[in-house]
């Protein structure tokens, strides 16, 4: 008997050695190419970059795979229970492999003559999703099992569940439970209800077959099957399961959010890729906090598209030549881009006309010339001649500029010339200060597009972008400080480390505070009766303190309006990409100004911005002048105007036309008129 036991022990040891050697050989052979423990510990899944609006709400995702990681304690217990009930009931009792489940599945499949039951644990599924090919083969199953064992040795059960919930595919491009919650229910994972959790877990078996979007009936049956399994697993009462099964799918897809503020998002995406590279942007899980105000963005799209549809309905061209437009809104002090529309339909054209289109601004460029003139000693009361002029061009031809209405006003003040947008007077102003003097001011005010120092620049013939010109206008209400327009405030990596952060764009002094204050006053005149921007007051009820300027190019190919209040600046451009005419009389005042006025009025009212006056530096000189002599008014001047001056340029003489006659006693009336 002892001899027999020794023999059994001997052969047991021999076969144990052979089995161990064979198993070791299998592990050694199939273990080649498996992820190391270090790889497992340092595993970093691809994560979507999230772009947030100014209120911290997700605006858009940038990813090769739509995936947003969440912590296990942010995932509802109902979701975890459903996963365990359906995918791995012995999860907490195995070390990565469930041998009883393997044997059970093998017998069931052999009996059925086909594969009807799986045996992969959650850990095996995670191993497959994270590291291995999806190609079905014997070697892959071995590698999957070995990797699962390594994962179990490296991570806790809770960490495995968290990785699993963030890695599995739910269909329609959604990877992970957070992306799935947003895709199917337009909510965050932690807000999922029981029935929603059951629906998502039901998708894991076959996301396309059980898609609630494509196959709602199948999805409903699959969801109810998950609820039954949860009840059978003991994490849900049968009564509760039956109650929830009676509920509809309750889908609320986020499809309507896809493409929200697309031109702005694309502008941000290009910035990120240029600075951080596409790999980090699409796989690194950045958090990007932007300046976009959703309310203003919605208003900008509404009012611009309303006007474009109106113009298209009356267009002499086919719909294949759509009328395009752009609008950009900025915070005048910070440079924050609050709204951006780059065209009528991003799906048809991704070309961003707010930042990429170089167009002639026409008279909307004149304020830059007038600012250079004021900064070089010109005054609002100085006289310009609004009469015909002929200028020789470098090619030997003669240039005869004209006013918009082809009339001439003769001698007018600089204020009247800008208010009424008189081309001939502006050309004469530019002739006096010289184009070469203006160029540095243009650059200081942030316009970097190519410029030609020619006299026709008085009429805005140099091309530039809408964003450039709108940001330049912000210099006026911002006391002469140009602020770089910015869209991104903060960028964080996936760990929450701040990669960049700034509250303002780059700043520099482009104009003296006094010159800026004079320009604000001049541009406020444009909004008064007789000014080209008066329609904003008269027809659209925009009564807040504001300044602005219309712009129209030859043949009505471009229509502009750029303007500002103390808080906001906005620019509007309308035209055809092909630079065709918008039609007779389709000037900036008729086409762009209505969009600007509606947007600015509604924006200020909706945001609850207080009615505010423009701040004026204490160094600025303000005087009451006689309207007739443009000298310091006396109590006897019948009409008085209020003017503003850069210190040192104000008139020193008092009106001599309206004064008491020698030897006579006269008393000024309450209206300032003399009575004898």
CB contact at 8 A, 41 and 137: no
Nearest to 372 by CA among 484, 524, 567, 522: 522
- φ/ψ of 158, rounded to 5, equals -65, -40
CB contact at 8 A, 516 and 368: no
C-alpha 630/C-alpha 622 separation (Å) is: 13
Instruction: Read off the DSSP letter of residue 35.
Output: P
**225 noted as active-site residue:** no
603-620 per-residue burial string, b: 16 or more CB within 10 A, e: under 16:
bbeeeeeeeeebebeeeb
Residue 547 forms beta bridges with which residues? 564
What does the block give as tokens for 543?
């009564």
Give the Å distances, CA to CA, from 505 to 266, 336, 406: 19, 8, 42
Entry field: residues in the chain: 676
Which H, E and C letters describe 178-211, residue by residue? HHHHHHHHCCCHHHCCHHHHHHHHHHCCCCCCCC
C-alpha 424/C-alpha 449 separation (Å) is: 25
Place of tokens 């209800």: 193
- φ/ψ of 27, rounded to 5, equals -60, -45
C-alpha 588/C-alpha 404 separation (Å) is: 12
CA-CA-CA-CA torsion sign (206, 212, 217, 223):
positive
State the catalytic residue, choosing from 61, 65, 87, 260: 87
Name the maximum alpha-carbon separation found in the chain.
156
Give the Å distances, CA to CA, from 309 to 302, 349, 502: 11, 16, 38
C-alpha 305/C-alpha 327 separation (Å) is: 10
CA 267: distance to chain centroid?
7
Query: What 3-state DSSP class applies to 267?
Result: helix
State the catalytic residue, choosing from 120, 300, 363, 525: 363
**363 noted as active-site residue:** yes
Nearest to 573 by CA among 347, 372, 370, 311: 311
Nearest to 547 by CA among 560, 536, 559: 536
CB contact at 8 A, 64 and 91: no
Give the Å distances, CA to CA, from 92 to 95, 176, 311: 8, 21, 67
470: CB partners within 8 A, 6+ apart: 328, 330, 485, 562, 569, 570, 571
Residue positions annotated with a catalytic role: 87, 363
């Amino acid at each position: 008997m002892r001899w027999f036991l020794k023999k059994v022990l001997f052969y047991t040891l021999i076969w144990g050695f052979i089995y161990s050697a064979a198993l070791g050989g299998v592990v050694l052979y199939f273990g080649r190419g498996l992820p190391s423990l270090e790889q497992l510990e340092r595993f970093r899944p691809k994560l979507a970059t999230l772009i947030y609006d100014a209120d911290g709400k997700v605006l858009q995702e940038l990813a090769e795979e739509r995936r947003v990681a969440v912590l296990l304690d942010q995932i509802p217990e109902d979701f975890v229970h459903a996963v365990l009930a359906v995918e791995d009931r012995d999860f907490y009792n195995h070390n990565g492999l469930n041998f009883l489940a393997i044997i059970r599945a093998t017998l069931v499949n052999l009996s059925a003559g086909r594969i009807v039951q799986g045996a992969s644990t959650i850990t095996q599924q995670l191993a497959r999703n994270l590291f291995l090919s999806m190609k079905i083969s014997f070697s892959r199953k071995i590698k999957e099992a070995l990797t699962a064992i390594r994962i179990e040795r490296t991570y806790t059960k809770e960490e495995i569940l968290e990785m699993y919930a963030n890695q599995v595919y739910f269909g329609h491009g959604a990877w992970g439970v957070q992306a799935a919650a947003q895709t199917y229910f337009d909510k965050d994972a932690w807000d999922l209800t029981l029935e929603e959790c059951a629906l998502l877990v039901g998708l894991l078996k076959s996301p396309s077959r059980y898609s609630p979007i494509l196959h709602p009936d199948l999805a409903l049956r699959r969801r109810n099957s998950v609820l039954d399994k949860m009840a059978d697993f003991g994490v849900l009462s049968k009564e509760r399961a039956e109650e929830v099964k009676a509920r509809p799918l309750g889908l609320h897809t986020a499809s309507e959010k896809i493409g929200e503020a697309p031109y702005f998002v694309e502008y941000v995406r290009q910035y990120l890729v240029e600075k951080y590279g596409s790999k980090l942007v699409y796989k690194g899980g950045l958090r990007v906090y932007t300046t976009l105000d959703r309310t203003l963005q919605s208003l900008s799209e509404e009012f611009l598209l309303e006007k474009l549809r109106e113009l298209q309905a009356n267009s002499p061209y086919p719909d294949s030549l759509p009328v395009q437009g752009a609008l950009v809104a900025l915070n005048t002090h910070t440079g924050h881009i609050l709204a951006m529309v780059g065209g009528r339909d991003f799906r048809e054209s991704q070309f961003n006309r707010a930042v990429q289109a170089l167009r002639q601004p026409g008279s909307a460029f004149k304020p830059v010339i007038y600012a250079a003139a004021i900064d070089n000693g010109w005054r609002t009361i100085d006289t310009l001649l609004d009469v015909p002029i002929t200028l020789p061009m470098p090619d030997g031809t003669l240039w005869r500029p004209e006013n918009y209405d082809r009339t001439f006003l003769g001698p007018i003040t600089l204020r009247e010339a800008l208010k009424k947008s008189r081309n001939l007077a502006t050309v004469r102003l530019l002739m006096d200060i010289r184009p070469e003097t203006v160029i540095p001011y243009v650059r200081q005010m942030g316009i970097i597009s190519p410029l030609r120092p020619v006299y026709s620049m008085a009429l805005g013939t140099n091309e530039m972008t809408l964003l450039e010109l709108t940001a330049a206008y912000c210099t006026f209400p911002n006391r002469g400080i140009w602020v770089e327009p910015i869209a991104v405030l903060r960028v964080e990596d996936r760990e929450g480390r701040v990669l960049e952060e700034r509250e303002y764009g780059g700043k520099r002094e482009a104009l003296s505070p006094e010159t800026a204050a004079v320009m604000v006053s001049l541009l406020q005149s444009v909004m008064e009766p007789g000014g080209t921007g008066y329609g904003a007051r008269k027809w659209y009820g925009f009564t807040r303190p504001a300044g602005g300027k219309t712009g129209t190019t030859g043949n009505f190919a471009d229509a502009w309006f750029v303007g500002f209040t103390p808080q906001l600046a906005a620019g509007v451009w309308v035209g055809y990409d092909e630079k065709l005419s918008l039609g007779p009389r389709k000037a900036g005042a008729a086409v762009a100004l209505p969009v600007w006025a509606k947007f600015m009025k509604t924006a200020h009212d909706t945001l609850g911005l207080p009615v505010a006056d423009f701040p004026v530096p204490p160094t600025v000189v303000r005087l009451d002048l006689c309207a007739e002599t443009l000298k310091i008014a006396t109590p006897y001047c019948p009409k008085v105007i209020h003017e503003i001056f850069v210190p040192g340029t104000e008139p020193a003489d008092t009106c001599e036309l309206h004064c008491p006659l020698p030897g006579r006693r006269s008393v000024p009336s309450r209206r300032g008129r003399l009575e004898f």
